[in-house]
Amino acid sequence: MDETITSVLDEQRKFEPPHDAGANIPSFAAYRQWCRRFAEDADGTWRELAREHLQWQKPFTRVLNREHPPFFTWFEDGCLNVSENCLDRHVADGNGERTAIIWEGEPGDVRRISYRELLSEVCRAANALRQLGIEAGDRVVIYMPMIPEAAVAMLACTRIGAVHSVVFGAFSAQALRDRIEDAEAKLVITADGGWRRGAVHALKARVDQALYEGGRSVRHVLVVRRGGNEIDWQQGRDIDWQQALQVEPDACTPAMLGAEHPLFILYTSGSTGKPKGILHTTGGYLLWARLTMLWTFDFRPQQDVFWCTADIGWITGHTYSVYGPLACGGTTLMYEGVPTYPDAGRLWRICQDHRVSIFYTAPTAIRALIKAGDEWPRRYDLSSLRVLGTVGEPINPEAWMWYYTVIGRRRCPIVDTWWQTETGGHMIAPMPFATPTKPGSATLPLPGIDADVVDGNGLSIREGGGLLVIRQPWPSMLRGIWGDEQRYVDTYWRKFDGRYYFAGDGARRDEDGYCWIMGRVDDVLNVSGHRLGTMEIESALVSHAAVAEAAVVGRPDDLKGEAICAFVVLKAEASEALKQQLREHVAGEIGAIAKPDDIRFAEALPKTRSGKIMRRLLRDIAAGKRIAQDISTLEDSAVVSSLLSGEH
Ligand code: WT7
């Protein structure tokens, strides 16, 4: 990350936003005006926005309840249904024939689903869930490829108040089982497989594996047929999705749910070994999903085609492939496969063919496409694009400039959006037709978001580096960690004595008050925009019989942002074959995204006298830096010398 930091510190370029009088926030003055409204009367502003932007079954009277910090609640005495807000509402408004989802499969098959059709399908699915005994509050795990049925499954859960937990399709059977067990899911919705890089990968088979020895809470598995894989049907447990939906009526009254009814759980990595189930609830989450679509992307539902390339297994896919665009009544595009299949022009061809106007992706994807060469985007007509977004990791100014010039042809504003699974939606980002941008900076907090950069004591830093915090609750904030209240308090609130939400990121603020996100300050890695805990990978490694001890650190990587470097102390004989075995072992425990890029066998790990692994030192060694730091506090400084000498 060092190179990024130096280039970011030198970055002086600034780009004025294009002018568009029809934009939802048409000027910097309008943005400032919103901020001022929140500063003067936050509760009143949220109240008005929540009334205007959501359809309530029962209106709320109370905006924010601060009685039990840090357990805040929003609009708690109101009732609403997410699927009704995302579907029925738009059909009732006369937009039933508008396309809700444009879907493209990797082999090239295309489906266009109108709001009316989506509503029918969601109702059938909701009825099918009820038939299987799913009730409000029950957890449903969704383990699916990027196909419309995944969105249908999510919305069907919300219709009856079931709590979904989407598990990324590339996670292993073991990781799937951990999540099923932690959530005590009653039902798993999956597919026979999905297309990736020209082949069908298996999903149902992994569900079978996950449920073979565990996941006792699961009563049924609903299986969508997509890839033509053979399915090993378990009598009484497994049910064919299409058959189950076929016999159900296409109407289903949306359940009346409290604004704080759990909407979904999404697992993400932290600094301990066990992923945490981030809990989001109904009203506040949906409000912010909709507002950020309108503000950060200047989404205009009557005209835009919005494409967020994230998989629904991540929060980005939840908020910006499904809930945000649908809550606005606009068109969202879903693509099943990988960005570089059959060639590096795939994304640009999709943008051209479906006239995508707002495109949202991760810096990793941008860097990979830069490497593939400018001839790919040049081949396609990208004139429909009007706003470009990035998310997930710091974007290096070079990649930003490429995105701006080669993809956006200097016409499209770039919105670099900083947020997290925990925040539910955007927190720091430019408003595309209002905020001047600087390559590599996420710029300023959204209206209503009280973000700050502070020192270790929580004192605000006007200009300079520090820790990123949020000082006031916001509607789409996480409500907790599933099944572990204490961990919620400890992870996010302990650091500043309950005063601020601590995000886990370092940031620098420049002379204009712009934020430059510097990356995680905890033991969390960001590999290709995917969040992984070092401890999680370490536990996976030590669960292998040949491993005595392991330490995992990140190392800067041009393409992935960070690469995974593991230092391993063995019980067995070292060999190249064992390295490969360990990489596969980690893939089996977590998923292919967690495979270490480097494995270095060591005789021992460098530790302080109190027995702590010296991670910073390992990071320096992994990055190939000269070791300048004092190693006299090490238990055995010979360990370091051997690590250094064993390097090449
Ligand atoms: C972490 C959250 C929520 C989007 C997907 C990732 C990093 C996210 C940016 C950005 C620099 C970013 C942070 C954050 N991050 N967006 N625009 N610039 N860093 O969600 O998996 O919950 O990870 O991603 O480190 O804490 P996530």
Cβ proximity of 524 and 271 under 8 Å: yes
Output the CA 21–ligand 1 centroid distance in Å: 31
Q: What is the mean pLDDT of residues 283-295?
A: 98
The predicted structure's pLDDT at residue 6: 53
pTM above 0.85, yes or no: yes
Distance from C-alpha of 281 to C-alpha of 285, rounded to nearest angstrom = 6
Output the CA 481–ligand 1 centroid distance in Å: 18
The b-or-e profile of 439-467 (16+ CB within 10 A means b, else e) is: bbbbbbbbbbbbbbbbeeebeeeeeeebb
Distance from C-alpha of 202 to C-alpha of 81, rounded to nearest angstrom = 33
Cβ proximity of 205 and 147 under 8 Å: no
Looking only at the bridges linking them, the beta strands covering 220-224 and 238-240 are: parallel
Q: What is the mean pLDDT of the chain?
A: 95
For residue 596, give the amino acid letter.
Answer: P
Longest alpha-carbon distance in the chain: 74
Output the CA 559–ligand 1 centroid distance in Å: 16
pLDDT tens readout for residues 157-214: 999 999 999 999 999 999 999 999 999 999 999 999 999 999 999 999 999 999 998 9
Output the CA 590–ligand 1 centroid distance in Å: 20
Read off the pLDDT band of 414 (50, 70, 90): very high
Distance from C-alpha of 464 to C-alpha of 383, rounded to nearest angstrom = 39
pLDDT tens readout for residues 350-402: 999 999 999 999 999 999 999 999 999 999 999 999 999 999 999 999 999 99
Q: What is the mean pLDDT of residues 228-256?
A: 97
Residue 616: Cβ within 10 Å count: 10
The predicted structure's pLDDT at residue 611: 87
**Complete edge-to-edge strand list for the sheet that includes strand 238-240:** 238-240, 220-224, 187-191, 139-143, 163-166, 262-268, 276-281, 480-481
Distance from C-alpha of 606 to C-alpha of 369, rounded to nearest angstrom = 39
Q: Which residue shows structure tokens 């001022």?
A: 36
Read off the pLDDT band of 648 (50, 70, 90): very low
The predicted structure's pLDDT at residue 645: 66
Q: What percent of the chain has pLDDT over 70?
A: 96
The burial of 356, by beta-carbon neighbours within 10 Å (0-12 exposed, 13-18 middle, 19 or more buried), is given as: buried
**ω into 275 cis (within 30 of 0):** no
pLDDT tens readout for residues 34-75: 999 999 999 999 999 999 999 999 999 999 999 999 999 999
Output the CA 267–ligand 1 centroid distance in Å: 14
Q: What percent of the chain has pLDDT over 90?
A: 92
pLDDT at 104 > cutoff 60: yes
pLDDT tens readout for residues 462-508: 999 999 999 999 999 999 999 999 999 999 999 999 999 999 999 99
Quick one: angle between helices 28-40 and 42-53, nearest 10? 110
Q: What is the mean pLDDT of residues 610-625?
A: 90
Give the list of residues 6+ apart from residue 522 with CB closer than 8 angstroms, or none. Answer: 270, 271, 504
Distance from C-alpha of 221 to C-alpha of 187, rounded to nearest angstrom = 6
The predicted structure's pLDDT at residue 634: 63
Atom of ligand 1 minimally distant from the CA of 416: 17
DSSP 8-state symbol, 613? B
Helices (H), 214-344: 241-246, 282-296, 315-317, 324-327
The burial of 151, by beta-carbon neighbours within 10 Å (0-12 exposed, 13-18 middle, 19 or more buried), is given as: buried
Residue of 265, 420, 428, 491 to test ligand 1 pocket, by largest number of atoms within 8 Å of CB? 420
* Torsion of Cα atoms, 377 then 378 then 384 then 385, to 10°: 50
pLDDT at 630 > cutoff 80: no
- Which residues, judged by CB distance below 6 Å to any ligand atom, belong to the binding site of ligand 1? 268, 315-316, 391-394, 416-421, 442, 503-505, 517, 519-520, 526, 531
User: Which of 368, 360, 346 has its CA nearest to residue 419?
Assistant: 360
Residue of 285, 319, 419, 491 to test ligand 1 pocket, by largest number of atoms within 8 Å of CB? 419
Cβ proximity of 520 and 505 under 8 Å: yes
SS3 7: helix
pLDDT at 1 > cutoff 60: no
Which residue has its alpha carbon closest to ligand 1 atom 6?
392
pLDDT at 2 > cutoff 50: no
Residue of 323, 505, 528 to test ligand 1 pocket, by largest number of atoms within 8 Å of CB? 505
The predicted structure's pLDDT at residue 213: 84
Distance from C-alpha of 296 to C-alpha of 601, rounded to nearest angstrom = 46
User: Which of 336, 338, 299 has its CA nearest to residue 320?
Assistant: 299
Cβ proximity of 528 and 362 under 8 Å: yes
Read off the pLDDT band of 274 (50, 70, 90): confident
pLDDT tens readout for residues 445-461: 999 999 999 999 999 99
pLDDT tens readout for residues 558-614: 999 999 999 999 999 999 999 999 999 999 999 999 999 999 999 999 998 888 899
Q: Which residue shows structure tokens 């064992």?
A: 578
pLDDT tens readout for residues 512-543: 999 999 999 999 999 998 999 999 999 999 99
Which residue has its alpha carbon closest to ligand 1 atom 14?
420
Cβ proximity of 456 and 302 under 8 Å: no
**What values do phi and psi take at 253, rounded to 5?**
-65, 130
The predicted structure's pLDDT at residue 273: 77
Distance from C-alpha of 348 to C-alpha of 161, rounded to nearest angstrom = 38
pLDDT tens readout for residues 301-344: 999 999 999 999 999 999 999 999 999 999 999 999 999 999 99
Which residue has its alpha carbon closest to ligand 1 atom 2?
420
Give the bridge partners for 330, in sequence order. Answer: none
Read off the pLDDT band of 629 (50, 70, 90): low
The predicted structure's pLDDT at residue 628: 60
For residue 205, give the amino acid letter.
Answer: A
Cβ proximity of 164 and 157 under 8 Å: yes
**What values do phi and psi take at 3, rounded to 5?**
-60, -40
Which residue has its alpha carbon closest to ligand 1 atom 3?
420
Atom of ligand 1 minimally distant from the CA of 310: 5
